[in-house]
């Protein structure tokens, strides 16, 4: 292996306009057909802007879309597991012509990008739902998002004029090129990425530190884009991460940054996506735990890990580190998994998320074997105000 590892597809794609190009397009934008992006599309355009979605240069055309849905590969054969698409309502589709340009706007009214439309095509919503999310049930949040979309996709490259403006986590928002430079300055050759949309409890801490034993650095990379309404807000989670890292992690070997993606809750496919994108941010390894990016009971406990086995390491270009469910083992007096503990279920401290939430709402600290007290206190305070 040569370090640092190249981005997915070989290079970080830069879709940002030059200063002169930006001025030209900003003047032209008011005369172009207009499309306002939703929350998930805002995340996608921001990641297209900074190269996080390399090798994509824009929203997928039909060949890439069909290939990704069916085979988890782009039309050129490169591994890619989730459609990155832009939909429009059927009654508005005639406004957007092939080989013409569309101005993409934020809900605030700011022009963010120009889409150079190369294709306009219809797609089968139920087929996308079944292939990508493994269910047609609308109660699945990812499927609900697909069903709520328009029935026509616009495909083509984008020229980004303005980055999405965020008013939170500014010190933690690092683009792939920035993180790669930081890792180089730290002389980290091997970096393990950890994806999370939840507070980190002792089981997460255990697998992160196991991984840290075999690499130079750990990137804690929480997702802060759109999530379900009942997920813990990103601002609360970030306080938890800060407290945890400050008190329990080696700061010279750990780095906290935020991941601007929206959750799709696509389980195994999203695990592959999370790994490939972390490769763009400079990671060489990626932690895959139980029920990665899952929701409800749609996916098997270790189905995400099993999906990685369908791809050659050379095709992925990042090494998945697979961990079983971990717990506090009363017999050995430490964190363990079924692979390392001789104990039975009655000797294992492993609480359900529902049980923990009930304790936190009641102002009770979960046992220290499950959660660090600093994290639990932050969550209790947040739940008081909700």
Q: Which of 14, 162, 198, 325 is labelled catalytic?
A: 198
Annotated catalytic residue 38 = no
What's the CA gap between 45 and 80, in Å, rounded? 17
Classify strands 152-160 and 58-59 as parallel, antiparallel or unpaired: antiparallel
CB 221 within 8 A of CB 200: no
Which one, of 382, 384, 3, 380, lies nearest residue 189 by Cα?
3
Name the β-bridge partners of 217. Answer: 191
The residue behind tokens 């580190």 is 321
CA distances from 171 to 45, 166, 217, 247, 256 (A): 20, 11, 19, 20, 10
Selecting among 197, 237, 269, 290, the annotated active-site residue is 197
- Compute φ and ψ for 195, nearest 5 degrees: -90, 135
CB 136 within 8 A of CB 126: yes
Is 198 known to be catalytic? yes
Measured CA distances, 205 to 190, 233, 281, 355 (Å): 19, 20, 21, 20
Alpha helices in the chain (DSSP H): 19-28, 39-50, 62-71, 125-128, 141-148, 176-185, 202-212, 234-248, 268-280, 303-308, 313-316, 353-361, 373-384
Residues acting as catalytic residues:
197-198
């Amino acid at each position: 292996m040569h370090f640092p590892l190249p981005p997915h597809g070989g290079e970080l794609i830069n879709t940002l306009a030059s200063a002169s190009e930006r001025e030209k397009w900003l003047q032209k934008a008011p005369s172009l057909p207009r499309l306002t992006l939703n929350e998930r599309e805002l995340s996608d355009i921001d990641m297209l802007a900074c190269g996080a979605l390399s090798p994509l240069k824009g929203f997928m055309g039909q060949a890439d879309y069909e290939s990704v849905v069916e085979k988890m590969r782009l039309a050129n054969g490169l591994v890619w597991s989730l459609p990155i698409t832009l939909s429009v309502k059927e009654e508005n589709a005639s406004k957007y012509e092939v080989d013409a340009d569309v101005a993409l706007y934020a809900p605030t009214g700011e022009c963010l990008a120009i889409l150079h439309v190369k294709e306009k095509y219809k797609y089968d919503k139920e087929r996308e739902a079944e292939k990508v999310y493994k269910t047609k049930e609308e109660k699945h949040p990812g499927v609900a998002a697909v069903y709520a979309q328009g029935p026509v996709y616009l495909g083509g490259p984008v020229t980004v004029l303005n980055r999405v403006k965020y008013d939170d986590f500014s010190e933690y928002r690092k683009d792939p090129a920035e993180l790669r430079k930081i890792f180089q300055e730290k002389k980290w050759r091997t970096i393990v990425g950890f994806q999370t949309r939840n507070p980190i409890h002792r089981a997460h801490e255990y697998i992160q530190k196991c991984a840290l034993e075999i690499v130079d650095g750990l990137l804690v990379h929480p997702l802060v884009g759109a999530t379900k309404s009942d997920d813990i807000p990103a601002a609360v989670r970030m306080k938890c991460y800060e407290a945890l890292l400050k008190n329990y992690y080696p700061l010279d070997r750990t780095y906290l940054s935020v991941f601007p993606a929206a959750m799709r809750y696509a389980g195994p496919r999203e695990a592959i996506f999370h790994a490939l994108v972390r490769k763009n941010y400079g990671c060489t390894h990626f932690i895959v735990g139980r029920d990665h990016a899952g929701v409800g009971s749609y996916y098997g406990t270790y189905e995400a890990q099993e999906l990685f086995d369908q791809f050659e390491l050379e095709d992925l270009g990042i090494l998945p580190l697979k961990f079983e469910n971990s717990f506090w083992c009363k017999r050995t007096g430490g964190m363990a998994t079924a692979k390392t503990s001789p104990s039975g279920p009655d000797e294992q401290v492993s609480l359900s998320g529902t049980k923990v939430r009930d304790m936190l709402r009641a102002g009770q600290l979960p046992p220290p074997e499950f959660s660090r007290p600093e994290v639990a206190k932050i969550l209790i305070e947040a739940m008081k105000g909700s």
